[in-house]
Structure 1
């Protein structure tokens, strides 16, 4: 580890070490208290469980390290301590709910040569602040309708294009409105018009110093659309369809590529269940236009991009509930020729398919062709194990591969990019209160990452992490 990283660690360790010792020492007492009371201690209970008020939160500490960085222009090795504290409060008056969420996301260590960005740091952020109106069965017997306005998070469908982040240290948020309807037979429909929240500060000094700065939103960046799902085949499967729009324009302070994207898509899936075959098939096409660069004089390019995901799995009916699945993913890369072909994953999550993000995050839903084999098991109610192997190719050799930022100007290095091997384990030290997790990934370079003109030459990338999360 470089000396500057050692110096940067002194302050966070001074805070983190007592907290870690507290968690370790408190675990037996928490476990005994939980066993004696039959339920987990919560802030909600400590307040006397007041009528209409729901309050909950989490505190998570995660240490990460990456060796042989794959991103060009960064330090070969780096590490960081990521802290996330989240508090959610909602008051339900009956037909109206008022809610807020404060998320404090910070990172210590890393330094100027790391990949730390607004995906890791957003200190003291207002993630949600909303009014929700529960309209009951106003739109049909047995149905429920909700209208929400303000700032909120959105999980839509598979979460591949719109998600509330879980592994990532910061969380996507949107300001606007959404309407949700659920039919008596399980049908769902969501319509929304929002301004995505821009996390601030976004300069390197502000990020490394964990500066507190109010986030922003404006009509220069809007995300809107509709999502629908319905059970089919007697409830054995679910069909989803959606249409999302993203409109972006320059602001006085920020130049952009002026994305104007339209993304229609569909998904057919069957949830995993012991003793049965499950599947997940999704595809989306993207059209619209973007500028070739952030320059105001850059040419506008028509967009023609796509992604597709296929998954076939089986869960064995045994005590460990082991599941194996085969996955296939394709997302287009830019091929030039006067159009723009790199798929934009919008506000989707990728950790559940492409491995850890944060300081790692090599693979993603752009310029990739990949096959994978997933295996998972739950030996007990407390312990969950997951392992995955992926082989990945560049969809286009004229574009940077996936999320690595590695590109090639020679055009003759071949498409095969890497093997990725990932594993993780999570365990509830105190059920519903304290969960620990450890995992890692290895990216074994293929021809593209070895020989591309933009490759780092660092060799195979190794990444590991360990975390502890307290729920209260």
Structure 2
């Protein structure tokens, strides 16, 4: 609660600081040059009308509050950092889908030592930094691994992360980490915002190598970057954590050109996944399944040189599904540690779509009237990639495939406004899922014809 009080006072100070200059905790406390002190606090109200998840009905609401506070001491060759996270919820009830992605009361998000100015791996004048300890990781599009932004809880890892860069903008990422079990993890402790320390899952290891090449076609397509990567997951059961004993390797690639006024942009990313796993985390389940899965995201857009800088993009997200639950293959592309909000939908107590068993074409319209306002609205025709596999978030499945594959028409939107530039930002938006044949016909499917979601939040950076 002390962290909450500090962040609340920072919020009040920010509003009193005036719109010309953002409030910064470092300035207010007159910290020495070697000490970085920063954070943010965010409060969001969410409402859901029409529950789509199996076994749940009616409406829902929640207040999600998250505060972050980072302190980093730069001693020269090495920097030491600690970041605290306090993520709490209010107004939820027994029907609220609370989980460790929504609530994680006060705990240590990061605790690390970072060695800077190490020899680089990308040729002349390149440099590297090595981060050791508990930390968050976000690379590239964040579809493979991310530091969560919209989710109320940011999930950390413990291990080693090397980043090498050079003056032309190339990057090479290399990491080997273990995720954490977040606590509390069950009801009613989650409802009560009980304090309980998070613990490393030493039986699970995530590794990755990710290379980004800047401006690969400087004449034909200025600003186009290319990425090559490979990610892996190895896990085994421990006395504290039971797993499906997954052993995955996921190679992939990405081409990306950022949106700019008066030009086309592109974002194409694909990855394969090979390996083995058991069907479940049950220790009695010892039948090994072959894993063959894949994902693809493709988007192409154009930004007009006109008032509000309108941009239109066509988008498609595909993540494979498992056609036959009774064979010895597992072909569903599971979402592991990457993001989904930017590409698919608003999440938290909503979030019906995830990059697993999905085939979803659509379009997005983005506007930016000025430096303070921006927003977007997007539409998707959400299908199951395999009609016999699960609608993953809803936990609904028709193994016969007779319910069809069309989940429904999905609409999402977001508007942001800087009340005080770089200090106080207001954001609100809404989503709608109008049920298609699968949602209406699947056994145990949702009642009604649609699910509606709305949110409003304010964030204060300090």
TM-score, normalising length: structure 1: 0.91
Following superposition, the deviation at residue 186 of structure 1 comes to 2.1
* Contact 1:345/1:365 (8 A) holds in 2: yes
Which residue, out of 432, 438, 447, partners 2:437?
Answer: 447
Where does 1:236-275 land on structure 2 (aligned, <5 Å)? 236-275=223-262
Q: For residues 100 and 28 of structure 1, what CA distance do their matches in structure 2 show?
A: 26
Q: For residues 27 and 137 of structure 1, what CA distance do their matches in structure 2 show?
A: 40
Which residue, out of 217, 234, 255, partners 1:233?
Answer: 217
Following superposition, the deviation at residue 447 of structure 1 comes to 0.1
Which residue, out of 59, 65, 73, partners 1:77?
Answer: 59
Q: For residues 207 and 251 of structure 1, what CA distance do their matches in structure 2 show?
A: 24
Which residue, out of 154, 166, 175, partners 2:137?
Answer: 154
2:446 paired with 1:464? no
- Number of the residue aligned with 1:313: 301
Structure having the larger proportion of residues in helix: 1
* Contact 1:152/1:174 (8 A) holds in 2: yes
Q: For residues 261 and 209 of structure 1, what CA distance do their matches in structure 2 show?
A: 37
Which residue, out of 337, 341, 346, partners 2:336?
Answer: 346
- Number of the residue aligned with 1:131: 113
Cα distance change on mapping 1:402 and 1:272 into 2, 3 Å: farther
- Number of the residue aligned with 1:301: 289
Which residue, out of 164, 170, 175, partners 1:192?
Answer: 175
TM-score, normalising length: structure 2: 0.93
Cα distance change on mapping 1:295 and 1:51 into 2, 3 Å: same
- Number of the residue aligned with 2:50: 68
SS in 2 for 1:354: coil
SS in 1 for 2:188: helix
- Number of the residue aligned with 1:8: none
- Number of the residue aligned with 1:106: 88
SS in 1 for 2:83: strand
Instruction: Give the number of aligned pairs.
Output: 449
2:28 paired with 1:46? yes
Following superposition, the deviation at residue 27 of structure 1 comes to 7.7
Following superposition, the deviation at residue 94 of structure 1 comes to 1.8
Following superposition, the deviation at residue 137 of structure 1 comes to 4.7
Q: For residues 123 and 142 of structure 1, what CA distance do their matches in structure 2 show?
A: 43
Deviations 1:347-402 (A, max 9, x none): 11111111111000101101000111101111121111111111111111121124
* Contact 2:14/2:23 (8 A) holds in 1: no
Q: For residues 76 and 321 of structure 1, what CA distance do their matches in structure 2 show?
A: 40
> Please, which runs of 5 or more residues in structure 2 have no aligned partner?
none
Which residue, out of 375, 385, 395, partners 1:395?
Answer: 385
* Contact 2:248/2:274 (8 A) holds in 1: yes
Q: For residues 132 and 221 of structure 1, what CA distance do their matches in structure 2 show?
A: 23
Larger deviation, residues 160-169 vs 132-141 = 132-141
Larger deviation, residues 405-414 vs 144-153 = 405-414
Deviations 1:233-255 (A, max 9, x none): 12531110111111122222333
* Contact 1:409/1:452 (8 A) holds in 2: no
Following superposition, the deviation at residue 456 of structure 1 comes to 2.1
Following superposition, the deviation at residue 26 of structure 1 comes to 7.5
Which residue, out of 68, 74, 97, partners 1:115?
Answer: 97
> Please, which runs of 5 or more residues in structure 1 have no aligned partner?
1-14
Where does 1:316-465 land on structure 2 (aligned, <5 Å)? 316-336=304-324, 337-465=327-455
Which residue, out of 77, 93, 97, partners 2:75?
Answer: 93
What is the Cα-based RMSD across aligned positions, in Å? 2.0
* Contact 1:255/1:294 (8 A) holds in 2: yes
Q: For residues 449 and 388 of structure 2, what CA distance do their matches in structure 1 show?
A: 22
Which residue, out of 184, 201, 213, partners 1:201?
Answer: 184
Following superposition, the deviation at residue 49 of structure 1 comes to 4.3
- Number of the residue aligned with 2:202: 219
* Contact 2:388/2:400 (8 A) holds in 1: no
SS in 1 for 2:105: strand
Q: For residues 399 and 295 of structure 1, what CA distance do their matches in structure 2 show?
A: 20
